[in-house]
Structure 1
Amino acid sequence: MDDPAADARMLERTYERFPLVNAVVSRWRAVYRRDIRPRARRKPIRLLDVGSGGGDVSRALAAWARRDALPVSITALDADERAIRWARPRGGGVEYRCASTTALVDAGDRFDIVISNHLLHHLSRTELPTVLADSVALAADDGLVLHRDIERGRFAYWGFAAGTLPFARNLLADSFIRDDGLTSIRRAYTASELTAIAPPGWQVRRAIPARLELRWEAWDARP
């Protein structure tokens, strides 16, 4: 998927199927209930989804907020113009932007909540510190940052391999989801690895199934 020369049809089919995968493994509904909805009940919220890909997480969050009649404004950000070009016509009450986090920092943008889904393992060891620093810079004075990813391990790898095998020739056919998912798990961090490289002020949390959350909260991290 990261390959600029990736097959366009397979890439689009991957974006189409991501909502199914994320609904099963990513647990953003729980995050919405725990962290986003309570804040939006107190005041209007601006949320930034970094590395949003096809935008399915952004659209899901926007839909839940609309259902609850809560003032949540969501920006889906991706540096890959292919992702934004595919996602923008899907709308969903989301603003789509093709840019880097650094560009938003330079523009002086601020958000109440900054999130990402399955982004960290795609970043190089030089890119990761930049994205984390930008996330903090983009967070409002009482902001929250949540970077959520898969945790590397045998359970995650073989569970994903077995769970997707029955769908490899039908639902997931002609997409990168199965192969890219297995590669992503091999590239992902363990909790101890992520804790070791996270800057001061960040917390690493674990959840089932094989989930990691790198979390920063202004009231905990800032003096």
Structure 2
Amino acid sequence: MQRDTIGIEEMDRPDCDPVLLERTYAQFPLVNRCVAGWRSVYLKLVRPVLPRNRTATILDIGCGGGDIALALLRWAQADGYSVKVTGIDPDPRAHDFAIRAVAVAGLGPGELELRRAMSAELVAEKQVFDVVISNHVLHHLDPMQLAGILADSQLLAGSLAIHSDINRRRSALLFFGLATAPLAGSSLIRRDGLLSIRRSYTTEELAALLPRGWHAHAAGLYRNLAIWHAPQRTGQ
């Protein structure tokens, strides 16, 4: 199946239906719990690099409705870590929804910060986080944007960067289409999700695009991880 490089997801359009967009953000937590696999990524990759002797920091690039950022915060806290998570998204609609969603989560001050920003802005601020992640962002980007976010991630990540996305397969279209049929018409989940699959990379395609120091990992049948580990400093 050839990759779709032309299609534009409805939620990326500035004039998309605001009611359907709100419902889509509201359905993200359920869909991500079912298909994104972040619990496993947290246990296998994120948790092992979090520091115990200070507050750990995590950055979620393109955080959307904020559900992944909130999940990472809660998992790390449940494991006894002091942690601060920052979620950034340049889309004002996503930012506004995330602010409202997090407001009802009962968080303490400073635990989760949400900003309407792009990764380059944080690089300009010389910020550094222990772990940098994104979910379902890479397939939205053109080649120059993809190279930019990977370069920014290396500057922002003190220990680890992980970008998780879909592994494009025909069977993914079939299974996702069937599973989300009840949501058709109620939100953009099904329509945009099917296009997301077609726009995503195979593991081999992703590996060919990654710069030196990164590697592509197939996490199950339908997930790709682009992973970068910060080089060990001399004397450590």
TM-score of the two chains, using structure 2 as the length reference = 0.87
Query: 2 CA distance for matches of 1:86 and 1:189?
Result: 28
| 120-129 vs 88-97, greater mean Cα deviation | 88-97
How big is the shift at 1:212?
0.2
Name the counterpart of 2:164. 148
* Counterpart selection for 1:127 from 110, 130, 145: 145
Aligned partner of 2:101 among 73, 87, 90: 90
The question of whether the paired residues in 1 share the 8 Å contact of 2:65 and 2:101 is answered with no
Name the counterpart of 1:157.
173
Q: Is the 8 Å Cα contact of residues 154 and 161 (structure 2) preserved in structure 1?
A: yes
User: Is 1:218 equivalent to 2:230 in the alignment?
Assistant: yes
Correspondence 1:66-105 to 2 at 5 A: 66-91=77-102, 92=105, 93-105=111-123
* Structure 1 residue aligned with 2:183: 168
**Distance in 2 separating the partners of 1:157 and 1:185:** 7
More deviation, 152-161/89-98 = 89-98
1:48-67 CA distance string (max 9 Å, x none): 00011001101111111222
The code of the aligned residue for 1:146 comes to I
Where 2:113 maps in the other structure, the secondary structure is: strand
CA 1:2–1:220 in structure 2 vs 1: closer, same or farther (change >3 Å)?
farther
Q: Which amino acid aligns with 2:18?
A: A
Q: Separation in 2 of the partners of 1:34 and 1:45?
A: 17
Alignment size in residue pairs:
216
Q: Distance in 2 between matches of 1:196 and 1:163?
A: 31
- Equivalent position of 1:116 in the other structure: 134
The one-letter code sitting in structure 1 at the alignment partner of 2:49 is: R
Give unpaired runs (5+ residues) of structure 2.
1-10, 106-110
CA contact (8 A) 2:128 2:157 kept: yes
Distance (Å, rounded) in 1 between the aligned partners of 2:23 and 2:115: 21
Partner residue in 1 for 2:6:
none
Identity of aligned residues (%): 44
**2:193 corresponds to which of 172, 181, 185:** 181
SS in 2 for 1:69: coil
Identify the residue that residue 31 of structure 1 maps to in structure 2. 41
Q: How far, CA to CA, are the matches of 2:122 and 2:57 in structure 1?
A: 14
Maintained 8 Å contact 1:79/1:98? yes
- Confirm or deny: 8 A CA contact 2:183 2:189 kept in the other structure: no
Worse-superposed segment, 107-116 or 38-47: 38-47
DSSP-derived class of the 1:155 partner: helix
Letter in 2 for 1:96: L
User: TM-score by structure 1 length?
Assistant: 0.92
Which structure has the higher relative contact order (CA within 8 Å, separation 6+)?
2
What is the aligned counterpart of 1:15 among 20, 25, 39? 25
**Structure 1 consecutive aligned stretches of length 4 or more whose deviation exceeds 4 Å:** none
